[in-house]
Amino acid sequence: MMDFIKRQLVKRKQIIKYIISGGTATGVSLGFLFVLTDWLGIWYLASTVISFFAGFLTSFFLQKFWTFNDNGRDLIKQQLAIFLLITLVNLLGNTFFMYVLVDIFKVWYMLAQVVITALIAFWNYNAFRLFVFKPVEAING
């Protein structure tokens, strides 16, 4: 049984790293959101935007260098640009759905952000894997 579990963990190592990296970036983002909104009194939508970018930077560097083992520096500008484009689409969706959940459905802003972040994470994994951090052999050949 333990061998089976080990094989499954090795087989799914990249997804596990993605979850850990995403969880770390989410923690950074939620931490910023909470501090900016509850402690500094900044409007929750403005706090959402600021916290989203803090999570963006954390996510990009963890995903690039750790999750997808992409240590190359030659494509970093292009990767950052594509990652940013995906993230901006996420930001628009995130802000819209925050407004809908908080102002219309009266969901607590922290719970709303957790739900939205989980939904965005599902599509991000494939977008990052396919469009941003392609294996070197796919880029060269």
Higher per-residue confidence, 124 vs 29: 29
Q: Is residue 17 part of a domain?
A: yes
Write the single-letter amino acid at 50.
I
Radius of gyration of the chain (CA): 17
Q: Is 4 a member of any domain?
A: no
The 3-state DSSP class for residue 135 equals coil
Q: Please check whether residue 48 lies inside any domain of the structure.
A: yes
Q: Is residue 3 part of a domain?
A: no
Nearest Cα residue to 98 out of 88, 107, 89: 107
Segment 66-109, tens digit of pLDDT: 988 888 888 899 998 998 899 888 889 999 999 999 999 999 99
Residue 89 DSSP one-character state: H
Residue 2: inside a domain, yes or no? Answer: no
Tell me, what's the pLDDT at 58? 96
* Measured distance CA(91)–CA(65) in Å, rounded: 23
Q: Has residue 139 got a pLDDT over 50?
A: no
Q: What are 33's two structure tokens? A: 């959101």
Burial letters for 59-82: b for 16+ Cβ neighbours within 10 Å, e otherwise?
A: bbebbbeebbebeeeebeeebbeb
**Is 86 within the bounds of a domain?**
yes
At 75 the pLDDT is 87
What range does the domain containing 80 cover? Answer: 11-133
Mean pLDDT of 12-41: 93
> Would residue 5 count as lying in a domain?
no
Our count of domains for the chain comes to 1
Residues 6+ apart with CB under 8 A from 29: 51, 52, 54, 55, 58, 113, 117
Q: What is the pTM of this model?
A: 0.71
Q: What are phi and psi of 74, to 5 degrees?
A: -70, -30
